[in-house]
Amino acid sequence: MSKQRIVVVGNGMVGHKFIDTIIGNENSNYEVITFSEESRLAYDRVQLSYFFSGKTADDLALTDAAYYEENGIKFVLNDKVVDLDFENRNVITASGRVEGYDKLVLATGSYPFVPPIPGNDQEHCHVYRTIDDLEAITKSGESSKVGVVIGGGLLGLEAGNALVNLGVETHIVEFAPRLMAVQLDDGGGALLKRKIEDLGVHVHTEKATTEIVDGENCRYRMNFADGSFLETDMIIFSAGIRPQDELARSSGIAIGERGGIVINNHCETNVEDVYAIGECALWENFIFGLVAPGYQMAKVAAAHMHGDHETEFTGADMSTKLKLLGVDVASIGEVHGTTPGAQSYTYHDEIEQVYKRLIVSADGKKMVGAVLVGDVDAYGTLLQLKLNDMDLPANPSVLILPAADGEESVGVGVDALPDTAAICSCFDVSKGDIKEAVASGCSSMAELKSCTKAATGCGGCTALAKQVLDSELANLGFEVNTDICEHFAYSRQELADIIRVKRIKTFSALLAECGSGLGCEICKPAVASILASYWNEYVLEDAHVGLQDTNDNYLGNMQKDGTYSVVPRMPGGEVTPDGLIVIGEVAKEFNLYTKVTGGARVDLFGAQLHQLPTIWKKLVDAGFETGHAYGKSLRTVKACVGNTWCRYGVKNSIGFAIDLENRYKGLRSPHKVKFGVSGCTRECAEAQGKDFGLIATEGGWNLYFGGNGGMRPRHGDLFASDLTDELLRTYIDRIYMFYIRTADRLQRTSVWLENLEGGIEYLRDVVINDSLNINAELEKEMQSNVDNYQCEWKTTIENPEKLKRFKHFINSQEQDSGLTYKVVRGQRFPLAKEIEITELA
């Protein structure tokens, strides 16, 4: 049986989803070729804003050439399909290439609408759609002081965030009387405007730009219809999108009155064997501008080609939950009062800047819509009520009112959700899918993600997916156990409380108090970390040494060839020339591979165990301390030079970074912790991607918390703004110790914050308002840690007994003779069969 040939025009997120669906169908018998106008394969446009906080095009990529080639997918880049020959079933590209098809999928997406304003085509006028656009915006930002976004919708606010990240004075100009006019009502739009303006962004509503001319103080001047004007150096147009239907229109495919390729419930156009999916498609006179409906269309089209005529596209939920310029915003269902007889409940706290509105049916039994600004914790509950057409409680207002002290907020238990409830809209995973996965053996989030892909898209469903998982495990008779291991019937948080309250100083004392057996490789390092967090005793003391993992045991990170890394602390990345010379001399003497890290330190690799004390003595004698690269502790405080050298700096970021690193160095915690300190909003230290991020402003410091640049990158949440040095240090003390008290074993701050009930608002309440009445204790515990600090390597090299552990063989002084290396670029690398090291010409 010959293969059917599918041509996919467009390789954006939805086009790639269609291809991925075809690849995943084991019974597929297709040959697929896809065309992209851009120079790269599909990437994540939803996460485009992260480009301005350090993500690269590779980070955003959804696929690569190797994946397509491995699965027999042909692809053509930088070549636009310009004509369709239906009679001969061919597509023709701008370069003259002709490809035949049996099935044709149009996934051409959309294009940014640029209002027909005179002067809109000048050099520093941009749209916000592709990575190429972002690169152009970045280049303009380098020579601009002021930037304007025309458009106050979702993409406009994303573009505004990009300008803020570029460090330019940011303005948002919106024609409508409020921001996010489609998603928010007047109350929500007003609060959103206020919160964004509090962050230093200027918002101008009800402004119609009539022309863009030369400016006097800036590059351009925008004249408005009301006679006012605004000067700027760069402009980003984000005034909405239009379906990219040019190819279909010119080929005679049916187009809607206002654009868009008309499709039926199977995503078919009016031309046989031609489908349209994503933002170019018009279903029931509606264009869907979110990625999730596009993914649904991709699955429907693939199913129909495979002979499944039962699966249909019947519309999609357009509810959204977003963080825009640091402000939490959510919109569900109909919010503009078009439902006959609808009535609403409104909660508005001007002090805390929270706005919630719940719209219900005339009989009060069903939810119609909701708007949430400033506090979106109720989103999950409200969305499930709407999607599943569930009955509301007797008094619906309780769904948006804050819970009284000691009470839990009202929610919808996952057991009450029907099996059809959509848990993950990105990958169309229902509660029933999760139940089936659990019944098939999934018992952890890692396994659930692997077999269903739930929570691997935008990540917004992670908490709900975990609740369903735990509920189903419990329903099947499994105990959802939070014990740290078999030797302690307590969680890590509970053990931390026991150690702190009862002032337990050793593992053996803890075992006697509340444990059993001898301990294991799970509880020993965890308890060692807790003991170090509270009492900060020397980790190689006889009472503690047996608890440490390999790295802490030898005060160095073990590498793949059995050697260790040496990482001296360089607070804030600052080092004297003499210090650099010593590091260079040590590296040269011991022939160590040398690399400058992303955390502004120097890593030395390849030290054998018996060499570590000698190396560290030389470094300690030169004034260096251990960088704790081997511990779950403070790693680095990355900083720019701030106002000491930089012409944009507004505060002494390097000096403050050094103070912070010296304060928290050596502090053990559930996982490693990194800081970033930027001297201005240009964000050269990439602070928002760190556990603690500090950004200097004219009014003080902005503190971000919960960032992560690891396997699942995450921007930190804005915790507080315009803080003094002293208040900032106090807040960090409290947050850091509260995290140490309550986090799970090996839990990053980002995951801890996401799982913290109440999220960043709850953390603010604890830290700023002292709602738990523990701040004095947290500060005292942190100060005790600071007072008890010691350089572990300095202590070690001064103790002959401890030095005995640093040799390869108990009964011999010989070194490891089994190590082999290859010299590349003037440095040695471990030679191993499983890795090939090449030197580029």
Confidence band (pLDDT; 50, 70, 90) for 168? very high
Residue where one domain finishes, among candidates 767, 787, 807: 787
Q: Quick one: average pLDDT of 433-461? A: 79
Whether residue 117 is contained in a domain is answered as: no
Domain co-membership, 220 together with 176: yes
Domain co-membership, 663 together with 722: yes
Q: Quick one: average pLDDT of 720-732? A: 95
The domain total for the chain is 5
Whether residue 323 is contained in a domain is answered as: no
- The pLDDT tens digits of the residues spanning 652-708 come to 999 999 999 999 999 999 999 999 999 998 889 999 999 999 999 989 999 999 998
Whether residue 261 is contained in a domain is answered as: yes
What was the pLDDT predicted at 815? 66
- The pLDDT tens digits of the residues spanning 810-831 come to 545 566 666 777 788 888 887 6
Domain co-membership, 101 together with 250: yes
Q: Whole-angstrom Cα distance, residue 547 to residue 627?
A: 21
Q: Which residues pair with 694 in a beta bridge?
A: 677, 703
- The pLDDT tens digits of the residues spanning 73-98 come to 999 999 999 999 999 999 999 999 99
Domain co-membership, 235 together with 255: no
Domain co-membership, 674 together with 639: yes
Confidence band (pLDDT; 50, 70, 90) for 218? very high
Domain co-membership, 151 together with 208: yes
Which is more confidently placed, 736 or 58? 736
Domain of residue 641, CATH code:
3.30.413.10
Which is more confidently placed, 59 or 42? 42
Query: For residue 217, is pLDDT > 80?
Result: yes
Q: Quick one: average pLDDT of 532-542? A: 89
What was the pLDDT predicted at 834? 42
* pLDDT > 90 in the chain, percent: 51
Domain co-membership, 521 together with 620: no
Whether residue 258 is contained in a domain is answered as: yes
**Mean of the per-residue pLDDT values of the chain:** 87
Confidence band (pLDDT; 50, 70, 90) for 721? very high
Q: Is the sign of the CA dihedral 507, 508, 514, 516 positive or negative? A: positive
Task: Say which range, 457-461, 505-509, 719-723, has the weakest mean pLDDT.
Answer: 457-461
Amino acid letter, residue 841: A
Query: For residue 410, is pLDDT > 60?
Result: no
Residue 10 falls in which region: left (phi positive, over 0), alpha (psi -120 to 50) or beta: left
Domain co-membership, 12 together with 90: yes
Cα 683 to the center of its chain, rounded Å: 17
Main-chain phi, psi angles of 72, to 5 degrees: 75, 20
193 lies in which domain range? 125-239
Please tell me what DSSP assigns to residue 408.
P
Closest CA to 38 of 16, 71, 20: 16
Query: For residue 408, is pLDDT > 70?
Result: no
Domain co-membership, 737 together with 639: yes
In sequence order, what are the residues at sequence separation of 6 or more whose Cβ sits closer than 8 angstroms to the Cβ of residue 727? none
Query: For residue 555, is pLDDT > 60?
Result: yes
Give ∠ CA 205-372-723 in degrees, rounded to 5: 75
Closest CA to 179 of 376, 377, 371: 371
Q: Which residues pair with 222 in a beta bridge?
A: 212, 230
What was the pLDDT predicted at 411? 54
Domain co-membership, 301 together with 213: no
Confidence band (pLDDT; 50, 70, 90) for 407? very low
Q: Quick one: average pLDDT of 389-409? A: 71
Residue where one domain finishes, among candidates 239, 274, 297: 239
What was the pLDDT predicted at 808? 62
Task: Calculate the dihedral angle through the C-alpha atoms of 633, 639, 644, 649, rounding to the nearest 10 degrees.
Answer: -130
DSSP annotation string for 500-537: HHTT--SHHHHHHHHB-SS--TTHHHHHHHHHHHHH--
What was the pLDDT predicted at 835? 42
- The pLDDT tens digits of the residues spanning 610-650 come to 889 999 999 999 999 999 988 899 999 999 999 988 888 99
Query: For residue 337, is pLDDT > 90?
Result: no
Give residue for tokens 């078999």: 486
Cα 707 to the center of its chain, rounded Å: 8
Residue where one domain finishes, among candidates 193, 215, 239: 239
